[in-house]
Amino acid sequence: MASEVPTRAYRRLGVEERRSQLLDAALSLFAARAPEDVSLDDVAEAAGVSRPLVYRYFPGGKQQLYEAALRSAAEELTHCFAEPPEGPLTQRLSNALDRYLAFVDEHDAGFSALLQGGSVVETSRTTAIVDGVRRAAAEHILVHLEVEEPAPRLRMTVRMWITAVEAASLIWLDEEKEPPLDELRDWLVEQFVACLVATAGRDAQTAGAVRAALAMEPADGPMGTFARAVLPVVSDAGHLL
Amino acid sequence: MASEVPTRAYRRLGVEERRSQLLDAALSLFAARAPEDVSLDDVAEAAGVSRPLVYRYFPGGKQQLYEAALRSAAEELTHCFAEPPEGPLTQRLSNALDRYLAFVDEHDAGFSALLQGGSVVETSRTTAIVDGVRRAAAEHILVHLEVEEPAPRLRMTVRMWITAVEAASLIWLDEEKEPPLDELRDWLVEQFVACLVATAGRDAQTAGAVRAALAMEPADGPMGTFARAVLPVVSDAGHLL
């Protein structure tokens, strides 16, 4: 430190620092309550500043603050999806889902309010931000599947699963976070594989991606457990073959 | 007819008739365009009445008219799900999906605008109406699965698939209704079976329901085709067993 005077507690924050402090305070509040139940006074109080100061930084008031907080949450969430292209595919998906579900767990009330829709702060801009996160998730998955120019069928399967994950997250929050997070994660990975396998039945590109992905899975890994758990159920339908 | 005078074209409609005539006009407009792009003048013109008359029936203006039209569409959609509990399960699901997808096809622009969210007419009431339709769909499916007191895992699987069907419908509308409707329908049925089979791996109740359902499927039906199409893909992952 250049100075020995304990200025930290008293010094005025720079513009960017102040903005980010206000955003952090807003994000914590919007994570814990529906936007309807967060006032600018709450944000000012949480940040330890005056209401006019909040307005100076966010002249559009709650709507602007909400959108800025959402944009920052969306960025954080998009970072969750980054995963190095190494190891079995289901392990990578599992890692990314772990981070995603931790985010859902942490932002529970705000996540529900946002995705359930019908909120007063919902606009075409907020839905575009949420949609951007979905698209980013789909692109990440398609990159890991190592398919050049994924065709509509594979894209649709991936996007359907992403929506299903959102639905599962909402139900999970609604049902007091049952089953435990790691069980939910493993089950969502299994659902992903099942959806891809089903599409593989009518789409050669997907079949190629599934074959390549399953070849990397070890028998003593989660896909081995999954395959052995499902086998008795499908074996009973042998009359279909 | 009691009278020979051709009064029909001139007679004044009763209150209920007029209301339903206005609703029909509104529903056609809301089906073809986003709510933002429908004015009360458009509704009045489509119904061949004056704007004040529309206001007399719907004093809350466009918002009230939109919600009433949505409620009527939701009722229509819920009727789509009714299917007698006879024959193979996938045939019943296929019949219901046929009607659902025909509805999506017919109400395309309005369906997209509604489910994409962020519309000016979206409120907690409109999302509650849409949610009611989803719940009705889930209940119908659970009844057909003949499971007494379905546990959370099975319920969650069914609700995830319903959300995935919605996502697929939106993508389908967005991609100029490709693939053809009957192909999309068959594929969604296959996805349903795949999701259930995956859940069956970790849930005894679901496993029982899947076994009973697959036992009813004939080898020369869609599930036979599906099983034979998927078999080569999963056979290549024999090292997992």
**pLDDT tens across A48-73, in order?**
999 999 999 999 999 999 999 999 99
Statement to judge: residues A67 and A85 lie in one domain: no
Domains identified in chain B, total number: 2
The mean pLDDT of B160-172, rounded to a whole number, is 96
pLDDT of residue A71: 94
Structure letter (DSSP) for residue B12: P
pLDDT of residue B7: 43
pLDDT of residue B140: 96
Tell me, yes or no, whether B76 lies in a domain: no
Q: Taking CB atoms and an 8 Å limit, are A163 and B167 in contact across chains? A: yes
The mean pLDDT of A132-157, rounded to a whole number, is 95
Q: Taking CB atoms and an 8 Å limit, are B239 and A231 in contact across chains? A: no
Q: Taking CB atoms and an 8 Å limit, are B227 and A237 in contact across chains? A: yes
The mean pLDDT of B170-184, rounded to a whole number, is 96
Which of B118, B160, B233 is the closest to A122 by Cβ? B118
Alpha carbon separation from B237 to A86, A215, B234 (Å, rounded): 20, 6, 5
* Chain B residues 187-216 with CB within 8 Å of chain A: 187, 190-191, 193-195, 197-202, 207, 210-211, 214-215
Statement to judge: residues B36 and B153 lie in one domain: no
Tell me, yes or no, whether A230 lies in a domain: no
Can you tell me the distance from the alpha carbon of A214 to that of A191, in angstroms, rounded to the nearest whole number?
14
Tell me, yes or no, whether B231 lies in a domain: no
Confidence tier at B146 by pLDDT (50, 70, 90): very high
Q: What is the pLDDT of residues A11-59, one digit of tens each?
A: 578 889 999 999 999 999 999 988 889 999 999 999 999 999 999 999 9
Amino acid making up residue B98: D
Q: Taking CB atoms and an 8 Å limit, are B195 and A195 in contact across chains? A: yes
Chain B interface includes A226 (CB < 8 A): yes
ipTM comes to 0.91
pLDDT value at B9 more than 60: no
Tell me, yes or no, whether A235 lies in a domain: no
pLDDT value at A241 more than 50: yes
Q: Which two tokens stand for residue B43?
A: 């509704």
Statement to judge: residues A135 and A191 lie in one domain: yes
Tell me, yes or no, whether B119 lies in a domain: yes
Statement to judge: residues B136 and B21 lie in one domain: no
- Residue A125: closest CA among chain B residues belongs to which residue? B118
Can you tell me the distance from the alpha carbon of A184 to that of A169, in angstroms, rounded to the nearest whole number?
9
What is the pLDDT of chain A when averaged over all its residues? 92
CATH number at A51 reads: 1.10.357.10
Statement to judge: residues B49 and B158 lie in one domain: no
Chain A interface includes B228 (CB < 8 A): yes
The interaxial angle of helices B15-32 and B108-116, nearest 10 deg, is: 80
Which is nearest to A201 in space by CA: B194, B178, B179, B211? B194
- Residue B210: closest CA among chain A residues belongs to which residue? A233
Q: What is the pLDDT of residues A69-98, one digit of tens each?
A: 999 999 999 999 999 999 999 999 999 999
Statement to judge: residues B177 and B107 lie in one domain: yes
Structure letter (DSSP) for residue A211: H
pLDDT of residue B10: 45
Chain B interface includes A164 (CB < 8 A): yes
Contacts of A142 (CB under 8 A, 6+ apart): A150, A154, A155, A158
The length of chain B is 241
The mean pLDDT of A139-165, rounded to a whole number, is 96
Which of B164, B179, B224 is the closest to A163 by Cβ? B164
Can you tell me the distance from the alpha carbon of B225 to that of B215, in angstroms, rounded to the nearest whole number?
15
Domain containing A196: what range?
81-217
Cis before B222? omega within 30: no
* Chain A residues 91-120 with CB within 8 Å of chain B: 116-119
Q: What share of chain B is helix, strand, coil (3-state, %, to 5)?
A: 75, 0, 25
Statement to judge: residues B169 and B149 lie in one domain: yes
The mean pLDDT of B209-232, rounded to a whole number, is 96
